[in-house]
Chains A and B, each alone.
Chain A
């Protein structure tokens, strides 16, 4: 009993940091409508900056001054990011904004390694809070009690700021209607910068305050962002009070989950989130979002199947690709197989994004499930290559069916965040369940049998399956089901009024896309001979998004072109630099800023007519 009380208090202390970060994310989203993926990066920067300052400055004043100075300094960095980057893309589709802040996250990850090194750093204990206090015979760190008090204090301060100051009233007004606030003479620019800096301040403060509790590491950004996404999804985006309640729920689930089911504590949190979302699709305190900024006012050309000439061109291209073993060596063939696999992966995501209008931020989950399914079937069960590939595809399809069932209940950014959260769950299972997956060491030695073992043979297998899969995806896009999917995207209201179920249609698309992604992942396992948790990590999901955007989100299968370009580019980059995340992140940021109206929208005039078949600029779906 006493132990439970202490565990409860530990949970409360954890809730405070979570609340700080989540409230910042919520405030930023409320006003700017940007889901700031970089929020975890700012949290991490806050912790690193606090470490450096508190190591340099001595005494209690040095410590607390360092914490606050770190938060202010990071907030200034955040303001700089807002002014130089986000300001340019407020009118862009939501997908681009998420992508841009993801680019920032990648850049910060490599920069933090450059600045602070790859090792975990252990900071000072908080002066005045080094002792423990005995509660019911159990020792509770006094710093935990400080954190417990801080949460409600910050909540109260935020409430006062929003209800008792002009700035706060303007922020609340802008949360509801930005244009109207501008029409009343308020310069939104500085309001946005102020709000963004405030949100980043809260995130960085949350990070800095973790210093006495936990080591600072360069993986803490992704760890916290997933938890924070869960918190704001449960609490409701844009609601500060909701963020507090949800932070309490999540932190207590974490605290007690470890006692009850240590292996699956994360799953417990997600199960609760799933229940909340099924009952309240906008979270406990959230409200329905306004319609997404898609702007379909433009003239849109209906999609057409390939004409005879185009079919010949595609056939010629395929024959040329199949002839690669005649000229290329084994390295080139392995690169070729990898590109073919990623073409299939990107094309499967494109079915969701282009025809479906829903952007999955966790599509790698199904790719990775495919990899693990194939690897386990081959290694543990000793299945032959075709059966193992089928097992991989089946595992990914099952995963997509399960996760997708929850995801399609949501729309817009909630959908994107939930797909990401599920991918992170899949990742942590692969990472933690070492007895089955080998954890960080992965599963090694998955080689194709001799008949498929030569580089040329495997290349042909990969090419054939990828081409077949992409062709199937294209057929689906033009099938009656594909039309239903597009109907839902174009107007969910109208689709429902002609008897189409949005959820059923989107769920089917999600499962189909997941299945093809899993096939790609299964092939990838055999290509590399090994599987690691990286196969379902967030960066791979983002690679998929970039490939689709590069190829053209309004095309049927343009992602194939995007995948060829992007994969070839990254393979080249990887061989030249150790800081691939830095380069990739900058690339994403530049891409988004250079083409705020969508990459292909900007390039359309340069492309041949057969590629101009168009659908609306779609980011995330309407409700």
Chain B
């Protein structure tokens, strides 16, 4: 059997004496959708930032396609075929929607060092194909700054797909969206993942999204993985109910 797409072993990180992530291990296979949930401050973002090289880990290993990513910067991790979207959308605000995707495509082609030739005319078809994939082909010419929040999230997805990634890291992909849009976006993500055999790791607070789309769910609390498994099993786990889903006082029973 070949190496799993993503293999995390004993990952730890502390900030000024506070352990943000302790001894986290898990694997993710191609085409699998894995959710990482837990209370705010549980270490989800730190975990994410270590996976894509933004934060240096204290100890442990992260293997992407069998390759250890120790010491790699985010752009090197991207070159390994990892796409990333951010909790608070990050886009290139001075560019049009298509130009945002073009930057990703040109970077993937290694063409961003060229000092001549109008970039707006390059990698146009690739960019338009990706926009069509996320249903934004009609917005290609619009300035990125005038997009609604849900559209920005879809644009981010298109940019994240521009290097044909095998692994997609999505930090709260539906935060701040209306319920109907959330479901649409996640269905889109799930369809793309299955079709292209992309492994997806995402964090999320919306339990509807988590339980509908994840193949597996991991629960992080105070930096430690406290549960991992199929959505139904995690939902019923008494420890998870106590620390995150709650005992009914603060969260809807059953519906959670």
Contact = CB atoms under 8 A, between A and B. Distances in A.
Establish whether A and B are touching in the complex (CB under 8 Å): yes
A478 B120 contact: yes
B90 interface: yes
Given A300-B143, A483-B106, A484-B107, A494 B86 contact: yes
B163 A498 contact: yes
B118 A479 contact: yes
B94 A498 contact: no
A299 B103 CA distance: 20
A480 B114 contact: yes
B107 A498 contact: yes
B95 A480 contact: no
B13 interface: no
A103 interface: no
Contacts of B91: 490-491, 494
B102 interface: yes
A497 B78 contact: yes
Interface stretch (A195-203, A301-309, A419-427, A581-589): A301-309
B96 interface: yes
B94 A486 contact: yes
Interface in B76-100: 78-79, 84, 86, 90-96, 99
Contacts of B180: none
A496 B96 contact: no
B148 interface: no
B111 A500 contact: no
B79 A499 contact: yes
Interface string A465-497: 000000000011011111110110111011111
Contacts of B133: none
B143 A490 contact: no
Interface residues of A, number: 37
A498 B120 contact: no
A449 B104 CA distance: 50
B108 interface: yes
Contacts of A302: 94-96, 99, 143-144
By DSSP majority rule, is chain A's interface helix, strand, loop, or mixed?
A: helix
B143 A500 contact: no
A483 B107 CA distance: 10
B146 interface: yes
Contacts of A615: 94
Contacts of A486: 92, 94-95
B52 to A, nearest CB: 7
Name the residue in B78, B103, B111 with the highest tally of chain A Cβ atoms < 10 Å from its Cβ.
Answer: B103
B107 A481 contact: no
Nearest to B108: A499
A501 interface: yes
Contacts, number: 123
Interface string A511-530: 01000000000000000000
**Interface bin, chain B:** 35 or more
A470 to B, nearest CB: 15
A481 B145 contact: no
Interface in A149-179: none
Contacts of A505: 112
B200 interface: no
B222 interface: no
A502 B74 CA distance: 11
Contacts of B99: 302, 483
A500 B119 contact: no
Contacts of B102: 483
A300 B93 contact: yes
A177 B78 CA distance: 35
Interface in B25-57: 52, 54
Nearest to B107: A499
A235 interface: no
Given A296-B145, A300-B145, A499-B107, A483 B90 contact: no
A300 B94 contact: yes
A298 interface: yes
A93 interface: no
A557 to B, nearest CB: 15
B119 A491 contact: no
B163 A303 contact: no
B113 A483 contact: no
A493 B54 CA distance: 9
A479 B107 CA distance: 13
Contact of B92 (A298, A487, A614): A487
B1 interface: no
Interface string B6-27: 0000000000000000000000
B253 interface: no
B122 interface: yes
Interface in A236-252: none
A288 to B, nearest CB: 14
B159 interface: yes
A301 B143 contact: yes
A616 interface: yes
A231 B198 CA distance: 51
A389 B183 CA distance: 63
Contacts of A497: 52, 74-75, 78, 84, 86, 90
B249 interface: no
Given A300-B145, A499-B75, A481 B95 contact: no
Given A302-B96, A484-B112, A498-B104, 4 more contacts: A300-B143, A475-B116, A478-B119, A496-B75
Closest A-B pairs by Cβ, 5 of them: A494-B90, A490-B92, A484-B112, A499-B78, A480-B119
5 contacts: A300-B93, A480-B112, A480-B113, A481-B113, A498-B75
Interface of A: 296, 298-303, 305, 475-476, 478-484, 486-487, 489-491, 493-501, 505, 508, 512, 614-616
